[in-house]
């Protein structure tokens, strides 16, 4: 199985500052035939189900603010929030769908 490892486990960022969350897969999740990275990012707030933010590593889901962006390829990926807002406090998960499904352990994002 593909193991997804996120870093850091928790992060505190000041309002308006940039937040960066990393995700590393134990093997490449780049599918060579279509050049797509099979990686998604989710946001989960307390008491709510997860919400899809990003798929194909960098495609923003409809309705997601453009301060959220995804990047990376192969085994190393990043979710960036360009200017942190109070409503962005949540746990963030990466997920690979290259070979079955696995999630990262989550990164808790708080306000400094």
Partner 1 sequence: EVQLVESGGGLVQPGGSLRLSCAASGFTFSSHWMSWVRQAPGKGLEWVAYIKQDGSETHYVDSVKGRFTMSRDNAKNSLYLQMNSLGVEDTAVYFCARGYTGFVFFDFWGQGTLVTVSS
Per-residue three-class SS string for 33-98: CCCEECEEEEEECCCCCCEEEEECCCEECCCCCCCEEEEEECCEEEEEECCCCHHHCEEEEEEECC
CB 15 to partner 1: min, Å: 26
CB 81 to partner 1: min, Å: 19
Binding-site ranges for partner 1 (CB under 8 A): 1, 38, 40, 42, 44, 49-52, 55, 61, 91, 93, 95, 97, 100-106
CB 84 to partner 1: min, Å: 22
Give the residue with the Cβ less far from partner 1, 5 or 85.
5
């Amino acid at each position: 199985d593909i193991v997804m490892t996120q870093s850091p486990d928790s992060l505190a960022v000041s309002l308006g500052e940039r937040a960066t969350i990393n995700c590393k897969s134990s093997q490449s999740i780049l599918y060579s035939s279509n050049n797509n990275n099979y990686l998604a990012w989710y946001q989960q707030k307390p008491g709510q189900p997860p919400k899809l933010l990003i798929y194909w590593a960098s495609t923003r889901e409809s309705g997601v603010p453009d301060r959220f962006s995804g990047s990376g390829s192969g085994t190393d990926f990043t979710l960036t929030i360009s200017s942190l807002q109070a409503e962005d406090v949540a746990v963030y998960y990466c997920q690979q769908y290259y070979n079955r499904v696995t999630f990262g352990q989550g990164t808790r994002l708080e306000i400094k």
